[in-house]
Structure 1
Amino acid sequence: MTATTDKLHGELITSIEPDFKLKDIIKSIPKEYFQKDPVKAWFGVITNILAVIAGYAMLVYSPWYLLPLAWIFTGTALTGFFVIAHDCGHRSFSNRPWVNDLVGHIFLLPLIYPFHCWRFLHDRHHAKTNMVTIDNAWDPWELEAFNSANPLVRLFYRGIRGRFWWLGSIAHWAILHFNIEQFKENEREKARFSMIVVLVFAAIFFPTLIFYTGVWGFVKFWVVPWFVYHFWMSTFTLVHHTDPDIQFSYPEEWNQALAQLEGTVHCSYPRWVEILCHDINVHIPHHISTAIPSYNLRKVHASLQENWGSHLKETKFSWALMKRIVDYCHIFDSETAYKTFKESRG
């Protein structure tokens, strides 16, 4: 046994031993929380579609001074589309692979995201979470890599790690998801298929939208909601695993269970955001097992709080939180987790 439990003043305390494994955490979760419920899954689909329709109705009928609110709502609802596809990618939406693939492709089309490309790269993030140079989601650069990069790349990295963090997922999308070299040989056929699907969709959808609504319609109905979606995508993914106290590790020092349990952050957002985004912020359970459907994440988090509470990192979204992250979490440091750009120069 690699984890022991004791009672201290009525609170369950779980101590972790050196040979601690992810399966030890999974065993503590009630089995029914892994079960898929088609009614809940499709209810989430229907309500999300209705939310997006409501958002676009607001964009059509709102006076100009209410457009910012309509954009924020619509972009956030479109983020829910991504989360549905996210469940599909992890096969936690349906027991039928073809249903997962079909729904995943459809819901990522408006975001111009190639489903299989995202799925393959995201699986690697889960397999190597918080592993230096291997994890592909907000892994901090080592100082040597930063110093050896050309000035434009360094400037870009500074921006993404600083006040332009909200553009990070756009860079990730553009640089990785359409590059066939990122995928293994046995993944490339499906990756190409997904690329073709979204490119054909874009080639038809964008000219049609511009033809009927003009350039302003293109900006109003797609570009701005898409940027709002990427604000949430960048923010969620950055906050999920980034904090001055969260240590990335080299492969030889990395522990899968600790990386998923202690290296993942639960962050509370305004409840309307959590509802529209299907509780994607309840992220620790998802890193314990990707088989947990999004509608069960809160139940699993409560179970983890009961059994592993002293090891969970929980916070609340605020601009102060984002400032803390983007002002400090810049360059990887093996002893202090991070150094700022200024400290790295010293």
Structure 2
Amino acid sequence: MKQLQQYIQREGKALQARAMDQMSDSDKKVSRVPVSRPEFTISDLKKAIPPHCFKRSAFRSFSYLLSDITVFFSLSYIFTTIMTQPMHQIYFYMTCIVYSVIQGCVFSRFWIIGHECGHSAFSEYKWLDDTVGFTLHSFLLFPYFSFKYSHHRHHTKTGSLEQDELDIPLLKSQVPSIHKHLTTHPVPRFLVITLVLIFGVPLYLLVNFRGRAYNQFASHFYPFSPMYSPNQRAQILLSDTALLAMLYGLYTLVSLKGFAWIALVYGGPHLVHTGMLFVVALLHHTHPLVPYYDSTEWDWLRGSLSTIDRNYGILDTIYYQATNTHVAHHLFTSIPHYHAMEATRAIKPILGEYYRYDGTIFYKSLWSAIKECVYVEEDESKGIYWYNNKP
């Protein structure tokens, strides 16, 4: 009888385990990231990753870039050819939307490669990385060197409530009362999401929106911004000059092709790209299970673990897996995208409960994050802050 009971218990546990395996990650009950200092070190994590994952191949990186350039010119040619053909307005608008979405994904791939260049993950040569990254980001009207320097500080201070350069949350006392109404009701929330998709990235670059608060004007276009040291100002000016050159090129095309042509061929994809860029940046660091630390508790390792991998469906593949390997990226920034998934699988057993993945599809995550992740507050652990909706 006792053996029968043990057998039933074993089978019950096995059945439960199989059921858990079959559940999606979003359905599983997960808890907050531990806030105690982990027993593993960054050295332990590095040893777990196969050495070849740290090797950067210029040939392989260029193969991805050249394929994207080919797709970009092919899509542009096909779309501009279709534009000259007579068709019903409905079909024309549908064609414009489809083109903008697909070409916007290509723009995002350009941006991701440029981002990797800023982390010296494109090749073994810094000058080559900077040349490629500068060219790609300038084409996207994105200041390469300005972002490179502020983004590096984001990586050195991730999860710091006072010094992180990107996506610093508000405290409860800083939230206007109207904010609650804007994010609670569906219609205002939809309008808020629409506005941040359109203006989030431009405002971040112009006035450091959702970035670290400074005592003076901070902008990615201002060489004397407090974000930059004196020896970085020349490169900030170089980034600005490249953007002005790109704008002049677009202006020249407007005079030749007309504003509508540029708006459709370049503007639509650019809008899709910047909207998704803001979504990805927001969701990587905004989650009720991920903590922030003040200066009394923050350290680099725990701060770097204060991020979460997300589920973007087919976009995970389109975006070079940058969306679901972000934890590994914060720990080892120079690993190229084509090794990031292997590196993630290697460190997950060591990270254990310190690794977080949300399997909820990204648009549902965005909808809930705008409502639930409004401000952070301390709990019983002093110096550690969580978004206010407790899991």
TM tier, smaller: 0.7 to 0.9
Confirm or deny that 1:171 pairs with 2:216. Answer: no
Larger radius of gyration: 2
Aligned with residue 256 of structure 1, among 295, 300, 320:
300
Structure 2 unaligned residues grouped into runs of 5+: 1-13, 15-33, 83-90, 183-187, 208-218, 380-384
Aligned residues with identical type, % of pairs: 20
Q: Deviations over 1:112-138 (max 9, x none)?
A: 112110100100110011211321221
Q: Which residue in 2 is equivalent to 1:276? A: 318
Cα distance between partner residues in 1 of 2:312 and 2:300 = 27
Under a length normalisation based on structure 1, what TM-score does the superposition of the two structures give?
0.84
Give the C-alpha shift of residue 104 in structure 1. 0.8
Aligned counterpart, 1:26: 46
Give the match for residue 314 of structure 1. 357
Is residue 245–residue 337 contact of structure 1 (8 Å, CA) maintained in 2? yes
AA aligned opposite 2:363: W
Is contact 2:138–2:239 with CA below 8 Å preserved after alignment? no
| Matched residues, number | 320
Q: Secondary structure, in 3 states, of the residue corresponding to 1:191?
A: helix
* CA–CA distance in structure 1, aligned partners of residues 260 and 38 of structure 2: 59
Classify the secondary structure of the residue corresponding to 1:253.
coil
In structure 2, give the amino acid aligned to 1:183.
Y
Paired residues of 1:161 and 1:329 also in contact (CA < 8 A): no
Q: Does 2:152 align with 1:135? A: no
- Out of 46-55 and 230-239, give the one that drifted further: 46-55
Alignment check: 8 A CA contact 1:260 1:284 kept: yes
Corresponding position of 1:296: 339
Change (3 A) 1:298 1:42: same
Asked if the contact 2:57–2:124 (Cα under 8 Å) also holds between the matched residues in 1, the reply is: no
Q: Distance in 1 between matches of 2:313 and 2:222?
A: 35
**Separation in 1, partners of 2:220, 2:231:** 16
| Mapping for residues 25-44 of structure 1, pairs under 5 Å | 25-44=45-64
Which of 235, 247, 263 matches 2:279?
Answer: 235
Q: CA deviation at 1:82?
A: 0.6
Moved more, 22-31 or 250-259: 22-31
Q: Distance in 2 between matches of 1:197 and 1:171?
A: 19
CA displacement at 1:307 relative to structure 2: 2.7
1:68 corresponds in structure 2 to 97
Cα distance between partner residues in 2 of 1:230 and 1:303: 32
Bigger shift: 158-167 or 278-287?
Answer: 158-167
Q: Deviations over 1:78-102 (max 9, x none)?
A: 0111111111100111211211111
Aligned residue runs from structure 1 range 79-118, under 5 A:
79-118=108-147
Q: Residues 331 and 339 of structure 1 are in contact (CA less than 8 Å); yes or no, is this contact kept in structure 2?
A: yes
Aligned alpha-carbon RMSD (Å): 2.8
1:67 Cα deviation after fit: 1.4
Gaps of 5+ in 1: 1-8, 10-14, 341-346
3-state SS of 1:252 partner: coil
The residue that corresponds to 1:339 in the other structure is 388
**Structure-2 change in CA distance of 1:241 and 1:95 (3 Å):** same
Which digits, 9 at most, give the CA deviation of each residue in 1:232-284, with x for residues without a partner? 101111111111121111122113212222x111112232x233322211211
Return the alpha-carbon distance in structure 2 between the equivalents of residues 279 and 312 of structure 1.
Answer: 17
* 1:40 to partner: Cα distance: 1.6
Q: Measure the CA separation in 2 of the matches of 1:18 and 1:267.
A: 23
Q: Decide whether the 8 Å contact of 2:56 with 2:121 is kept in 1.
A: yes
d(CA) in 2 for partners of 1:257 and 1:20? 10
Give SS of 1:91's match.
coil
Match in the other structure for 1:323:
367
Alignment TM-score, normalising by the size of structure 2: 0.75
Tell which deviates more after alignment, 40-49 or 132-141: 132-141
Is the contact made by 1:20 and 1:257 (CA closer than 8 Å) also made in structure 2? no
